[in-house]
């Protein structure tokens, strides 16, 4: 092993590569420094890398400290070696924990998580499809810029938030096990520049394809299809629908209760006859109205429905419900109540609930008309023109 002055950057810079092989260089002048013992400079064809060779638990291990010129001299490599050895001593290094990359950290989190297999698969799919390169990187090489680039190059604030959540979860696990700095603490999703798309992905003035997509889904997955149908005919948000328990539903009174709406309030909603029939037909082998296969948990947030050309997103159901209510000429305060919105004005404070079963049926018929299921003559007229 050739000896060379590794204490000065210009001297290290003079070392030339040997074609076809990697040469290890040492500096005997610092052998009296115990923290520098075992440090070598590996010079390859294009790179120079600082390596620490150390006997740990009776075995000789080689630990990569970093590259030149990021670590310009053996002294900088020595300082890095002290940090690495501290991690080895406390068993928080990559080798001891098995967490080398951000992907390793995610798998470590998943392996100790009580989440459903579907949720775990969703996490892995998001990483594979959108952040594969980031999750292959070593924990110590990742910067905030890497995280922000991985998140912000995707369109849609919902996707960005989901990716950011996965990153934060993974880095939180890495920080806990590796005792490293949590870079993801400062990861933010910039929602100020995001303009939400409040339009459905088809021409709402033409025949609505919503029921066709829902019926097709029910043929392959009754639970998911029924969840979309309930969203469409109640206007409820997906989060409220998937977390419904049978104790929240009174089929005799034709009412549905939501314990906590987005505005923090409790909601009691009348159900259309079609929705009552839908719920009566569902299996009741779980406390959840929309259970997973094991029945212990409710389904995950449903994905969009699509026939390859047209899509129906969960929140599109709320948009269509509102559109149908207005096309049926229902009063704004009734629509607010059926949507679970906070009513504006003094009357709204005193109103004890004007929305009724007949209003729910009127909207249901209007939706069926817009979807082409029934003729327009079936629309219920409620105090307005048509």
Longest dimension (CA), the chain: 97
- Its domain, for residue 247, covers 210-378
Domain boundary among 68, 89, 110: 89
Tens digit of pLDDT for each residue in 183-197? Answer: 898 898 875 555 556
Query: Which pLDDT score is estimated for 91?
Result: 67
325 in a structural domain: yes
Indicate if 15 and 82 belong to the same structural domain. yes
Indicate if 221 and 319 belong to the same structural domain. yes
Indicate if 355 and 274 belong to the same structural domain. yes
Closest listed residue to residue 316, CA positions, set 218, 201, 157? 201
- Percent of the chain scoring above 70 in pLDDT: 91
258 in a structural domain: yes
Tens digit of pLDDT for each residue in 297-336? Answer: 899 888 899 998 999 999 999 999 999 999 999 999 999 9
Instruction: Kindly report which listed range (101-110, 161-170, 171-180, 217-226) carries the lowest average pLDDT score.
Output: 171-180
Indicate if 120 and 161 belong to the same structural domain. yes
201 in a structural domain: no
Tens digit of pLDDT for each residue in 80-121? Answer: 888 777 766 666 666 777 889 999 999 999 998 888 887 888
And the tokens for 24? 């290890």
Domain boundary among 57, 89, 121: 89
Please give the average per-residue pLDDT across 267-284, as a whole number: 95
DSSP string, 293-333: TTSSSBPPPP--EESSS-EE-HHHHHHHHHHHHHHTT--HH
Tens digit of pLDDT for each residue in 18-76? Answer: 777 888 888 877 776 777 778 889 888 888 898 888 776 667 777 888 888 889 988 88
* Contact criterion met (CB below 8 Å) for 30 and 74: yes
Say whether 139 sits in a helix, a strand or coil.
helix
Indicate if 79 and 119 belong to the same structural domain. no
Query: Which pLDDT score is estimated for 385?
Result: 38
Indicate if 219 and 332 belong to the same structural domain. yes
CATH of the domain at 22: 3.30.160.390
Closest listed residue to residue 96, CA positions, set 106, 110, 86? 86
* Contact criterion met (CB below 8 Å) for 97 and 178: yes
Instruction: Kindly report which listed range (3-7, 146-150, 274-278) carries the lowest average pLDDT score.
Output: 3-7
Instruction: Kindly report which listed range (127-131, 176-180, 229-233) carries the lowest average pLDDT score.
Output: 176-180
Query: Which pLDDT score is estimated for 252?
Result: 95
Alpha-carbon span 158 to 161, nearest angstrom: 5
Above 50 in pLDDT, residue 386? no
Indicate if 289 and 335 belong to the same structural domain. yes
What b/e string do you get for 16-49 counting C-beta neighbours within 10 Å, with b at 16 or more? eeeeeeebebbbeebeeeeebebbbbbbeeeebb
Q: How many domains is the chain built from? A: 3
Indicate if 354 and 231 belong to the same structural domain. yes
Query: Which pLDDT score is estimated for 262?
Result: 77
Tens digit of pLDDT for each residue in 199-227? Answer: 899 999 999 999 999 999 999 999 999 99
Radius of gyration of the chain (CA): 31
Above 60 in pLDDT, residue 129? yes
Indicate if 107 and 56 belong to the same structural domain. no
Q: Comparing 132 with 181, which gets the higher pLDDT?
A: 132
Query: Which pLDDT score is estimated for 276?
Result: 97
368 in a structural domain: yes
Query: Which pLDDT score is estimated for 196?
Result: 59
Indicate if 232 and 368 belong to the same structural domain. yes
Q: Comparing 244 with 81, which gets the higher pLDDT?
A: 244
Indicate if 76 and 146 belong to the same structural domain. no
Question: Could you tell me the pTM of the whole model?
Answer: 0.53
Domain boundary among 89, 112, 127: 89
Indicate if 148 and 228 belong to the same structural domain. no
CATH of the domain at 162: 1.10.150
């Amino acid at each position: 092993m050739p000896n060379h002055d590794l204490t000065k950057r210009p001297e290290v810079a003079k070392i030339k590569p040997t074609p076809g092989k990697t040469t290890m260089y040492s500096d005997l002048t610092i052998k009296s420094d115990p923290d520098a013992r075992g440090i070598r400079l590996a010079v390859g064809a294009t790179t120079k890398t600082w390596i620490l060779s150390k006997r740990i638990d009776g075995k000789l291990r080689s630990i990569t400290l970093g590259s030149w010129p990021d670590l310009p001299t053996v002294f900088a490599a020595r300082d890095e070696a002290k940090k690495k050895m501290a991690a080895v001593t406390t068993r928080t290094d990559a080798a001891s924990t098995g967490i080398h990359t951000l992907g390793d950290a995610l798998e470590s989190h998943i392996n100790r998580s009580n989440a459903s297999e579907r949720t775990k698969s969703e996490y892995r799919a998001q990483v594979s499809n959108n952040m594969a390169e980031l999750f292959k990187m070593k924990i110590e090489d990742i910067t905030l810029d890497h995280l922000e680039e991985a998140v912000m190059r995707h369109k849609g604030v919902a996707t960005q938030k989901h990716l950011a959540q996965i990153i934060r979860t993974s880095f939180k696990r890495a920080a806990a096990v590796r005792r490293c700095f949590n870079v993801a603490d400062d990861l933010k999703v910039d929602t100020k520049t995001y303009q939400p798309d409040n339009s459905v992905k088809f021409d709402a003035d033409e025949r609505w394809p919503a029921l066709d997509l829902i019926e097709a889904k029910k043929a392959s997955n009754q639970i998911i299809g029924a969840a979309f149908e309930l969203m469409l005919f109640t206007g409820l948000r997906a989060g409220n629908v998937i977390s419904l328990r049978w104790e929240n539903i009174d089929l005799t009174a034709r009412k549905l209760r939501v314990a906590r709406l987005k505005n923090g309030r409790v909601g009691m909603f009348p159900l259309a006859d079609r929705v009552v029939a839908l719920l009566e037909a569902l299996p009741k082998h779980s406390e959840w109205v929309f259970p997973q296969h094991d029945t212990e948990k409710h389904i995950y947030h449903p994905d969009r429905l699509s026939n390859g050309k047209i899509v129906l997103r969960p929140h599109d159901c709320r948009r269509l419900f509102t559109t149908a209510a207005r096309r049926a000429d229902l009063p704004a305060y009734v629509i607010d109540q059926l949507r679970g919105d906070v009513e504006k004005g003094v009357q709204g404070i005193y109103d004890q609930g004007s929305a009724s079963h007949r209003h729910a049926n009127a909207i249901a018929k209007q939706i069926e008309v817009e979807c082409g299921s029934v003729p327009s003559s079936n629309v219920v007229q409620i105090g307005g023109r048509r």
